[in-house]
Structure 1
Amino acid sequence: MTRKTTTLGMALATTALVATGAAAQDVTLTIESWRNDDLTLWQDKIIPAFEAEHPDISIRFTPSAPAEYNAVLNSKLDAGSAGDLITCRPFDASLALYEDGHLTDLSDLDAMDNFSDVAKSAWQTDDGSATFCVPMASVIHGFIYNKEAFEELDLAVPETEAEFFAVLDAIKEDGSYIPMAMGTNDQWEAATMGYNNIGPNYWKGEDGRLALIAGEQKLTDPQWTAPYATLNRWAPYLGDGYEAQTYPDSQNLFTLGRAAIYPAGSWEIAGFNQQAFFEMGAFKPPVRNAGDTCYISDHTDIGIGMNADTEHPEAARTFLAWVASPEFAEIFGNALPGFFPLSSTPVELEDPLAQEFASWRGECESTIRSTYQILSRGTPNLENETWGASVAAIKGTKTPEELGEELQDGLASWYEPQQ
C-alpha cells in the first residue's frame, strides 16, 4: 500500500468518524402520551427549556386521545414503532408494559434519588426491586365551588358531611343553581370523583387500602359499602337528567355558572381557570364527624419511562434525568396547575386554587385510589366494576350491601388473598 493510499484511507476514516459523531449528536426523541390537553405546555415551555440546555437533543411530543392511548401504545410497541419515551399511567398498566419487556429498569438513574419511596411505588415492581418510570405528578381529589354563588347564598365551606348536605339543601332550596354538577353517563366520574373522593374518610386511607390488598378487609365490610349509601344521597342534588349527562356536560354546567359545586380532581384547574368567569375555591372531602382525621386521595397519576427498544438510550436517559430535576418540577407544577410534582424538592405554586388543594397535604393523611394497585389485574377488573357500582349507588338501582357482595365475589374469583 502506498503512502498516498494510506493517507487517503485515513482521511476517509476521519471523515466517517466526524460524520458519525455529528449524526450521534443530532438526536430526536419522541414522547408517547395520553395527555393531549397539555400539548401547548410541552411545545411552549417544557421542550424549549430542555433543548436550551441540550441543543444536541430534539424532543417531539406526540399524544393520543386519552381513551385510545393504551390500545394505540400497545399497537405501536408490538409493531416496533413506538416513541423513545413513554408516558406512564400509575401501577398495573405500566407494570404490565415493564413485565412485557417494553419499559427499561431505571433504578440506576441517579436522579431517582429525588423521589420518595411513596412517589416511586406507582412505577415499581411489587418487590420494589425495579423502578421503570420517573415520577412526574400526582392529582388530588376534592370539590371545586363557585365562590360568588356561596357568597350570594351566604354559605360557609362545609367541613363535615352534615354541613355538606346542609349546603346542598340550601342551594337546592334557593333554586338559582344546580347544587352539584356530575353526571353518570360516562361512569368513571362516579367512581373517581365520587367513591374514591369521599371513600378514604370511611376506610381510613392507606390503612384500609392495604388491608384490602392483604385480604384483611373485604368489600362487604361497612367501611367499603357505606360510601355507596352516601353517593345515593347525592342524586337529588345533581340536577334533572344527570343520568344522561356526560363529563364535558358537567364541566360546562359548572364553568358557565349554572352549578355551584363540582366534585373534582385537581386536573380541572387549568381548564376551569380559562373557562370560568367567576372566582373559584376548593374544599376537601368532608369528614364524617367533627374532629375526625381527614383523608385525601393524592393519587400518583403520571410518570415517564424509556422504551426498551429505543435507538437512543443515552439521550433518553439524559431527558429522564432532567424530568427528575427541580427545574422541570417548577415548570410543570406552575404551567399545569393541579398536577403536583412528586420531586422531593418543594415547588412554590403560583395558582391560588392549586395552593388550596396542595395545602390539604399538611392537614390530612394521603392515599391513592383504592382499586389501582394489584386489585384490578384480574377479571373482572375491580376498577371498571367500581365505575358501574358507583353509578348504581347514585341511581339507587342496588343497595350498598348488594354492590359490596357483587364486587367482593368478583375480586375473590381471581384474587387469592380475598378467597
Structure 2
Amino acid sequence: MTRKILSLALLGSTILGGAAAAEVTLTIESWRNDDLTLWQDTIIPAFEAANPDIKVKFTPSAPAEYNAVLNSKLDAGSAGDLITCRPFDASLALYDAGHLADLSDLDGMSNFSSVAKSAWQTDDAAASFCMPMASVIHGFIYNKDAFAELGLEIPETEAEFFAALETIKEDGNYIPMAMGTNDQWEAATMGYNNIGPNYWKGEEGRLALIAGDQKLTDPQWVAPYEALAKWGEYLGDGYEAQTYPDSQNIFTLGRAAIYPAGSWEITGFNAQADFAMGAFKPPVQASGDTCYISDHTDIALGMNAASPNAEAAKTFLNWMGTSEFASIYANALPGFFSLSNHDVAMEDPLAQEFVSWRGECESTIRSTYQVLSRGTPNLENETWGASVAAIKGSKSATDLGMELQDGLASWYAPQK
C-alpha cells in the first residue's frame, strides 16, 4: 500500500511538473505598435493553436522610443524573449553586444535566400541572428476621390508631381500632402529615402557611398534635399508640430490628398479611411528614366540571448519560417511583403499595387542602414535632422550635404 501511494504521489508530481513546465509565456518586443490587434487576433492564435503549451504576448513600444527602451531593458535584464529586429547595423550592434542569439542552425532559416538574410547577419555571413519577416516598399498613397474631383492623373515625373501638388493647393479643399516634421524620422524615411534612390540610382549609389567612391556632397545626394525644400509649402499649416499619428489621421479623415508612405500603412489606412485609395511610385526626374524603389528589408525577429525560454522561442522562430506564417503575415499585414521563398498570394489591391513596382523598377534599401550608421555621428539619425531642415528651409541642401559628409568622414575611413 505504501509503495502504491508513493507511486501515485510520484506520478502526480510528474504530471504537475509537466504541466508547470508546459506553461511557457513568450514576450515579443517590437516598435510596431499599430499592428497590436492583428498580432493578438490573428498571428498569435494561429501559433498557439498548433503549440498550445506556449503562450505569446506582443508588447510594443512607440517607434521613436523603441531603440532606447529596448536597450534599457536589455541592460537591465528585463527584455522579452523575442526581439523585433531592425535591419543591418542596429541589430548587428545588439548581436555584437551579446544580446541576440545566433540562429544560423534553426531549420526555418533554410526558407530564406542569402539576400533576405543579409540584413540580419554578420558582415562575413557566418552568423544569422534574426529570422527575416518582411520588406516594405516606399511610395505615395493618394485619395482617389480627391484626384477624381480635381481631374488629376497619377504623376510619373517630378514636374508632374509638383504640378499636382500645386493644383491641390490652389483648389483649397485638401491639404496637398500629409506629413509633419515633429517626429523627424518620417522626413528621412518617407521623404529623403523615398525619393532619393531615383537620384543616386539605388544600389549603384548606395554601394558607391559605402565604398567611398561617392560622397554626400555629390549632386545625386544633395538633389533630394533640394526637392524636399519644395515640400514645405504643401504640407499644411502647422506641419512643424505635426506628429506621425497626426499625419495618419489627417489623411484617413480625408483632409489630405497625398500621403508620403511606406507600404506598412496599408492595414491601418484600410481600417480607417472611408474613401478609395491608390498608390504611385516615387516620380522620376524625366519621362523614360529608370525608376528605383526602396524595397527595404525592414523587419525580422531574433531571440534574446538571455531568454529563460530559449526552446519555446526557437519553436516560434521556426514557425515563422513556414508557409503558414508567410501567408498569414503577408495578408494580415498587407504591405509587409514576405521575404521567404514560399509563394505567397496577396489579396489586398493596394499591397498588390506596391509590390507590382518590383517588376517595373530597380530595388534598393535605405541608404543609411548598412555600415554607414555604425559610428558617431550616426548617419541615419543625422539624416532625420537634415531632412527636416531641408523641408523647413532652415539650411540649404548644399550645406546639409557638407555637414553630413563631414560627420561621416570623421569616423568612416573610406570617406576620409
TM-score (norm 2): 0.95
Q: Aligned equivalents of 1:289 and 1:43: distance in 2? A: 46
1:132 to 1:163, Cα distance in 2 relative to 1, 3 A: same
1:90-101, aligned counterparts within 5 Å?
Answer: 90-101=87-98
Equivalence for 2:76:
79
Residue 173 of structure 1 and its aligned partner are, at CA, apart by 2.6
Deviation at 1:26, TM superposition (A): 3.1
1:176 aligns with 2:173: yes
Supply the distance in 2 between the matched residues of 1:115 and 1:324 (Cα, whole angstroms): 8
Change (3 A) 1:70 1:332: same
Whole-Å Cα distance in 2 between the matches of residues 77 and 232 of structure 1?
39
5+ unaligned residues in a row in structure 1: which ranges? none
In the TM superposition, residue 418 of structure 1 has moved relative to its aligned partner by 0.7
Code of the aligned partner of 2:411? W
Report the counterpart of residue 288 of structure 1 in structure 2.
285
Unaligned stretches of 5+ in structure 2? none
Between stretches 112-121 and 77-86, larger displacement belongs to 77-86
Q: For residues 310-340 of structure 1, what are the alpha-carbon distances to aligned partners after superposition, in whole Å with 9 as ceiling and x for unaligned?
A: 2222221111010111111111111112222
Q: 1:287 to 1:10 in 2, by over 3 A?
A: same
Instruction: Find out whether 1:414 has 2:411 as its counterpart.
Output: yes
Q: 1:234 aligns with which of 231, 236, 252?
A: 231
2:102, 2:109 → 1: CA distance? 11
Distance, in Å, in 1 between the alignment partners of 2:41 and 2:391 is 42
Q: Tell whether the 8 Å contact from 2:144 to 2:276 is kept in structure 1 after alignment.
A: yes
The answer to whether 1:385 aligns with 2:400 is: no
**Structure 1 residues 290, 41: closer, same or farther in 2, change over 3 A?**
same
1:342 is the counterpart of 2:339: yes
Describe the superposition over 1:39-90 as per-residue Cα deviations: whole angstroms up to 9, x where unpaired: 2111111111111111222222222233332233223222322222111122
Q: What SS does structure 1 have at the residue aligned with 2:83?
A: strand
Evaluate the alpha carbon distance shift between residue 9 and residue 234 of structure 1 in structure 2; reply closer, same or farther with a 3 A threshold: same
Output one character per residue of 1:198-248: Cα deviation in whole Å (capped at 9) or x when no partner: 000011111111111111111011110011111112222222333333323
Cα deviation, residue 15, structure 1: 5.5
Q: Which residue of 1 aligns with 2:261?
A: 264
| Structure-2 residue corresponding to 1:194 | 191
Paired AA for residue 358 in structure 1: V
Distance 2:55 2:122 in 1: 31
Give the one of 207, 211, 220 matched to 1:223: 220
The CA distance in 1 between the partners of 2:230 and 2:188, in whole Å, is 15
How far 1:23 sits from its partner (Å)? 3.3
**Match for residue 300 of structure 2?**
303
Q: Classify 1:245/1:312 alpha carbon distance in 2 versus 1 (closer, same or farther; 3 Å).
A: closer
Q: Does 1:27 align with 2:7?
A: no
Pick one of 327, 331, 338 that aligns with 1:330.
Answer: 327
Q: Is the 8 A contact 2:263 2:354 kept in 1?
A: yes
Work out the CA distance in 1 between the residues paired with 2:149 and 2:57.
Answer: 48
Instruction: After TM superposition, give the deviation of residue 192 of structure 1 in Å.
Output: 0.9
Paired residue secondary structure (1:172): helix
Identify if the C-alpha distance between structure 1 residues 174 and 343 changes in structure 2 by more than 3 Å, giving closer, same or farther: same
Q: Secondary structure of 2:176's match? A: strand
Counterpart in 2 of 1:371? 368
Q: 1:345 to 1:30 in 2, by over 3 A?
A: same
Alignment of 1:55-70 (within 5 A): 55-70=52-67
Q: Distance in 1 between matches of 2:11 and 2:237?
A: 76
User: 1 CA distance for matches of 2:169 and 2:14?
Assistant: 75
State the one-letter code of the partner of 1:311: P
Does 2:37 match 1:52? no
Q: Call closer, same or farther: CA 1:13–1:253 in 2, change over 3 Å.
A: closer
The yes-or-no answer on 1:399 pairing with 2:396 is: yes
SS at match of 2:329: helix
2:354 pairs with 1:357: yes
Supply the AA of the counterpart residue of 1:284.
Answer: K
- For 1:211 and 1:285, the matched residues in 2 are separated by 22
Distance 1:297 1:69 in 2: 22
Aligned partner of residue 156 in structure 1, secondary structure: coil
Q: Which moved more, 1:76-85 or 1:158-167?
A: 76-85
Does residue 122 (structure 1) correspond to residue 108 (structure 2)? The answer is no
* TM-aligned CA deviation for residue 157 of structure 1: 0.4
Checking the alignment, whether the CA contact within 8 Å between 2:34 and 2:268 is kept in structure 1 is no
The equivalent residue for 2:205 is 208
Deviations 1:341-397 (A, max 9, x none): 211212211111111111111111111111111111111111111111112212222
C-alpha distance in 2 between matches for 1:75 and 1:394: 32
DSSP 3-state at the match of 1:233: coil
Equivalent position of 1:312 in the other structure: 309
Q: Which moved more, 1:11-20 or 1:300-309?
A: 11-20
TM, length-normalised to structure 1:
0.94
For the residue of structure 2 that corresponds to 1:379, the secondary structure is coil
Q: How many residues align?
A: 416
1:321 aligns with 318
